[in-house]
Amino acid sequence: MSNLVSYIALFVSVFYAPANHDKGKITTLPGVGIILNGDSILLNRTNLLDLKKAFNISEDPFLQREIWDGVDTNGNSTYGILFRKEIKFMGITFQYESPDTVNFKLKWIRIPFNKDFEVIILDRVRLGQINPPIDTYFKKVTKHDYIAKDRLTYNLYSQGISFHFEPIKKGRMLEEVSIHYRILGN
């Protein structure tokens, strides 16, 4: 009986799938990660080796060293040296960071608009959308959140998501979304 159900599900998905079945699908999980065509990629959990295996990536990312300053996840000022590796897959940038050259953790996922992917941020918000209702769902919550006066950049660290818009004749187009850490408090 379970085989019959599987065959029916397969038949329905092949013959009655929506017209965009050739598109990849990315669902964003602010402050957590993304789901890319059914594979979960989670901040601080998906390591470099697992990401490379999942997407059959053979090249090793270049090691970068950076001196930085900013605020930590509790909102305290901080600074230091970190090492970074970035892997790009189908235009998506996966940024790994480590205080040393060994223990890399996924810290940032940057997704630019790409017509080959349907990127779902919320049910009513999609990457590439013109004038999406971002302000309805994402608001400045803490002092660490930033919304540009021209509303082309939203860095919402309290929610673990950032947006970049491109100005167009009809308003603005959602050009890029980033999933990253959350800053808790104030």
| Mean per-residue pLDDT over the chain, rounded | 86
Each residue's pLDDT tens digit, 79-127 = 999 999 999 998 999 999 999 999 999 999 999 999 999 999 988 899 9
d(CA 89, CA 17): 26
pTM comes to 0.82
What integer is the mean pLDDT of 29-41? 94
Cα atoms in the Cβ-side hemisphere of radius 13 Å centred on 54:
16
d(CA 142, CA 132): 22
Sign of CA dihedral 81, 69, 142, 113: negative
Helix (H, G, I), strand (E, B) or coil at 164: strand
d(CA 41, CA 110): 12
Does 3 have pLDDT greater than 60? no
